[in-house]
């Protein structure tokens, strides 16, 4: 058995590294069109930051784990091919802003079709709309090379920041497909380290839909507690206390009830919009509207947070220095896709704030690119006024102390552990007074910080 994976991103890279680590006898070849990304996977500085990933890659790379751009060769040489390319939300044409852009998946399927000989098992790893496997199958079966294929859906449930732990001890592995033989080949790979009773098998469509549904339910919990956070602020209740109280009900459970400035990441919004598009396609307007509200609530939460900063700072942040702590969409990752920080900062910039940003893992170039993209989202181009703001009002600093010097406010947007152990007395001394501190993640000590002199604001408490 030989495995290849097309797409060396946040999903393909760690997943294949884990398979290679656990199955030393199976050659695993990860390919990508992006040469720089492949070079990074072959270097000491991996392209993604993920706790524990370096050790796993170091163990398997050079033994049975290879990274290269030789896509055709890898496909031809493998028995099992994972498709793990990006499926972003469409930004043009039919379904723009909702449907998944399947361009990359389709290109992969065509490439597999043209290069393959003999029998191959093709595994969908990317999150895809329900019935994509049907399209992939049609493309594969249209070949006249005599090659034959089985298509499986094997959605990834790892969360960034905990990917290695999630891969090592998954709650479940889901495999959807029609061919018993293909399913048991793939199950045989996972069985090397995952107990058999955690490997669930379903039909193709159930597997595809389960991935979208899992993410929709998780995002819905975050939006639900965030909706309650607005009510807490209005009524004097405390959202963390409410979350604790309801989370002890074993039917509800404690996870994913942390109120925040809003969820981000490459999956939640994209998958819900996908689900909404699918429902609309099948004429299920009420179901579509129900799920869309999860995204609407998330947008409201991000906007509400930025507006409350402006209102609290005497209704103007123009020319005020604001320290931004955290850019990643959650801690322990360098991924900033759809991070709440982007949208909060865009809104503050348009109020003409001067932003001094620090994140322990996200690179300066990425932060600037994210802001530029957000500012061009409405029209496709960055206006002259926004360009000036980007050039004159944004700076990225090397540590959080540098951001706070003579700042009017510190705003925590990612729950990095290091923000919990900062010398806040030192930060307070360096800031202008009153010194405002906004905790968009409810991670800081809300009793101690006001005692140091801060005017402290958190989510869902007045
Ligand atoms: C998610 C799913 O959890 C994972 O199973 C799937 O494979 C991919 O999508 P990910 O996006 O990496 O994983 O991170 P996740 O931990 O789910 O967090 C998503 C967002 O929700 C983050 O911005 C996080 O900060 C936010 N969040 C999460 C909250 O605001 N509150 C919570 O209680 C939990
Ligand atoms: P994810 O978070 O789903 O892993 P990423 O964007 O991090 O998404 O990774 C997807 C990767 O797939 C990118 O590195 C991209 O270059 C790669 N990719 C897209 N299309 C192809 C293709 N046809 N052949 C090889 N690699 C591809």
Same domain, 300 and 421: yes
Q: Answer with the one of 147, 172, 202 that is the final residue of a domain.
A: 202
Which residue among the candidates 156, 208, 292, 415 is catalytic per the annotation? 156
314 and 393, same domain (yes or no): yes
262 within domain boundaries: no
Whether residue 147 sits in one domain with residue 20: yes
Span from the CA of 343 to the centroid of ligand 1 (angstroms): 17
Distance of CA 84 from the midpoint of ligand 2 (Å): 6
Mark whether 182 and 100 lie in a shared domain: yes
Judge whether 46 lies within some domain.
Answer: yes
Cα–Cα distance between 21 and 303 in angstroms, integer? Answer: 43
Residues 278 and 360 in one domain: yes
What is the distance between the alpha carbons of residues 290 and 388, in angstroms, rounded to a whole number?
A: 40
For every residue of 3-36, DSSP letters joined together read EEEE--STTHHHHHHHHHHH-TTS-EEEE-S-HH
Residue 399 CB partners (closer than 8 Å, separation 6+):
358
**Residue 156 bears catalytic tag:** yes
3-state secondary structure of 277: helix
Indicate which residue of 4, 108, 232, 267 is catalytic: 267
Q: Retrieve residue 325's tokens.
A: 């702590």
The domain tally of the chain equals 2
Domain C-terminal end among 158, 180, 202: 202
Query: 117, exposed or middle or buried, with CB in 10 Å at 0-12, 13-18, 19+?
Result: exposed
Residue 121 lies in a domain: yes
Q: Copy the structure tokens of residue 33.
A: 């069109």
Same domain, 191 and 278: no
Contact 263, 223 (CB under 8 A): yes
Output the domain CATH number for residue 62: 3.40.50.720
Looking at all shown ligands, the one closest to residue 68's CA atom is: 2
Domain co-membership, 278 together with 378:
yes
Ligand 1 close to Cβ of residue 260 (< 6 A): yes
- Same domain assignment for residues 277 and 180: no
Q: Show the low-confidence residues of the chain (pLDDT under 50).
A: none
In a domain, residue 282? The reply is yes
Could you tell me if residue 259 is inside a domain? no
State which ligand 1 atom lies nearest to the alpha carbon of 441: 30
Q: Which pLDDT value is given to residue 89?
A: 87
Q: In which residue are the tokens 């940003």 written? A: 357
Identify whether the C-beta of residue 186 lies closer than 8 Å to the C-beta of residue 121: yes
Q: Are residues 190 and 297 in the same domain?
A: no
Q: Does residue 219 belong to any structural domain of this protein?
A: no
Residue 175 sits in the same domain as residue 315: no
Q: Which of 178, 202, 226 is the last residue of a domain?
A: 202
Q: Give the ligand 1 atom nearest the CA of 330.
A: 25
* Range(s) of the domain holding residue 373: 268-458
| Shared-domain flag, residues 164 and 308 | no
Beta carbons of 85 and 105 less than 8 angstroms apart:
yes
Q: Does the residue 217 lie in any domain?
A: no
pTM of the full predicted structure? Answer: 0.95
2/30 Cα distance (integer angstroms)? 11
Say what the pLDDT of residue 252 is: 98
CB 9 within 8 A of CB 125: no
Q: Residues 84, 160: one domain?
A: yes
- Ligand 1 close to Cβ of residue 330 (< 6 A): yes
């Amino acid at each position: 058995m030989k495995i290849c994976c097309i797409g060396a991103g946040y999903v393909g890279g760690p997943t294949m590294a884990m398979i290679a680590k656990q199955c030393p006898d199976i050659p695993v070849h990860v390919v990508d069109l992006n040469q720089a990304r492949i070079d990074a996977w072959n270097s000491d500085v991996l392209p993604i930051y993920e706790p524990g990933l370096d050790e796993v890659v170091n163990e398997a790379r050079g033994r049975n784990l290879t990274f290269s751009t030789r896509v055709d060769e890898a496909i031809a040489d493998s028995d099992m091919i994972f498709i793990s390319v990006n499926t972003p939300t469409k930004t043009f044409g039919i379904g723009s802003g909702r449907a998944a852009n399947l361009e990359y998946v389709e290109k992969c399927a065509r490439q597999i079709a043209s290069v393959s000989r003999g029998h191959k098992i093709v595994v969908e790893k990317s999150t895809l709309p329900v019935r994509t496997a049907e399209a992939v199958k049609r493309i594969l079966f249209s070949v006249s090379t005599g090659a034959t294929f089985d298509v499986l859906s094997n959605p990834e449930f790892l969360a960034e920041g905990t990917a290695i732990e999630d891969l090592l001890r998954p709650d479940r592995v889901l495999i959807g497909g029609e061919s018993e033989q293909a399913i048991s080949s793939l199950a045989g790979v996972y069985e090397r380290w995952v107990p058999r009773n955690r490997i669930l098998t379903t039909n193709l469509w159930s597997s595809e839909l389960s991935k979208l549904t899992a993410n929709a339910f998780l995002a819905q919990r975050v939006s639900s507690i965030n909706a309650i956070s607005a009510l807490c602020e209005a009524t004097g209740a405390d959202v963390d206390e409410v979350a604790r109280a309801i989370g002890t009900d074993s039917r509800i459970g404690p996870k994913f009830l942390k109120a925040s400035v809003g969820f981000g990441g490459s999956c939640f919004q994209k998958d819900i919009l996908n689900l909404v598009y699918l429902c609309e396609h099948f004429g299920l307007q009420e179901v579509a509207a129900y799920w869309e509200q999860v995204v609407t609530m998330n947008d409201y939460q991000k906007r509400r947070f930025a507006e409350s900063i402006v209102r609290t700072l005497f209704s103007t942040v123009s020319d005020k220095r604001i320290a931004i702590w955290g850019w990643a969409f959650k801690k322990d990752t360098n991924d900033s896709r759809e991070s709440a920080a982007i949208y909060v900062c865009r809104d503050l910039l348009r109020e003409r704030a001067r932003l001094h940003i620090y994140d322990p893992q996200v690179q300066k170039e990425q932060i600037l690119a994210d802001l530029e993209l957000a500012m061009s989202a409405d029209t496709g181009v960055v206006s002259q006024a926004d360009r000036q703001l980007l050039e004159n009002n944004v700076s990225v600093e090397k540590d959080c102390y540098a951001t706070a010097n003579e700042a009017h406010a510190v705003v925590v947007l990612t729950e990095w552990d290091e923000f919990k152990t900062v010398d806040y007395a030192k930060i307070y001394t360096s800031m202008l007074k009153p010194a405002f501190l906004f905790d968009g993640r409810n991670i800081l000590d809300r009793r101690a910080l006001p005692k140091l002199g801060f005017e402290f604001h958190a989510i869902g408490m007045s």
